[in-house]
Amino acid sequence: MEALLVIDMQQGMFSIPGFVPHDGAATIGRIRSLIDQARRRGAPVFFVQHDGGSGHPLAAGAPGFAFHPDLAPLGSESVTVKRRCSAFHETSLDAALRTAGVTHLVVCGMQTETCVDSAVRAAVERGYRVTLVADGHTTGDSAVLDARHIIEHHNRTLAGLFAAVEPAASIRFGEE
């Protein structure tokens, strides 16, 4: 079974001073379309939410911890709170996916070089088939590379050995 995994699309990621997600509004729109399509076609949607700890913009209870309002889960959808980059590290995500019968993850979200990358790699390590949404993950500029190049690098690095990499427009839930 195929499922959509939405990583760290939280309000705080769009309000951290000096951090501007590359193509942020368009990425939100593409993820919104994927969520809508998955729900229409009966594919489960799993959400991951980062808790950065006390004083962090993504700390549980802080305004930035909430999901972006355009990408909020339904009450019936699984939400995994994580404290590290990987959505699988010391969380119940793997158990939730296995209980739902998921074998293929379509991955999108925030932050390309950390949380998205580690989720893709950890999912592959656990035996899941993975599709990374090429234009469905984002990050901000670093001191070394601009965000566009970080995204391109990770799409190329993860393609093939770790994941299929497909644009959002090519994703069709239920057509495996």
CATH of the domain at 163: 3.40.50.850
pLDDT per residue over 98-126, tens digit each?
999 999 999 999 999 999 999 999 999 99
Say what percent of the chain tops pLDDT 70.
99
Is residue 7 in a domain? yes
Instruction: Report the number of distinct structural domains present in the chain.
Output: 1
pLDDT of residue 10 exceeding 70: yes
What Cα–Cα distance (Å) separates residue 80 from each residue in 7, 8, 143, 144, 151?
Answer: 9, 10, 30, 31, 24
H or E element at residue 128: none
Helix 147-158 to helix 117-125 angle (10° resolution) is 10
Range of the domain at 8: 2-170
Say what percent of the chain tops pLDDT 90.
86
pLDDT per residue over 133-153, tens digit each?
999 999 998 989 999 999 999
What Cα–Cα distance (Å) separates residue 115 from each residue in 3, 18, 38, 61, 111?
Answer: 18, 19, 22, 20, 5
Is residue 176 in a domain? no
pLDDT band at 19 (very low <50, low <70, confident <90, very high): confident
CB atoms inside a 10 Å sphere around CB 172? 11
Of 12, 23, 11, the C-alpha closest to 167 is: 23
H or E element at residue 162: none
Mean pLDDT for the stretch of residues 80-94:
96
Is residue 175 in a domain? no
Is residue 78 in a domain? yes
Task: Please tell me the pTM assigned to this model.
Answer: 0.96
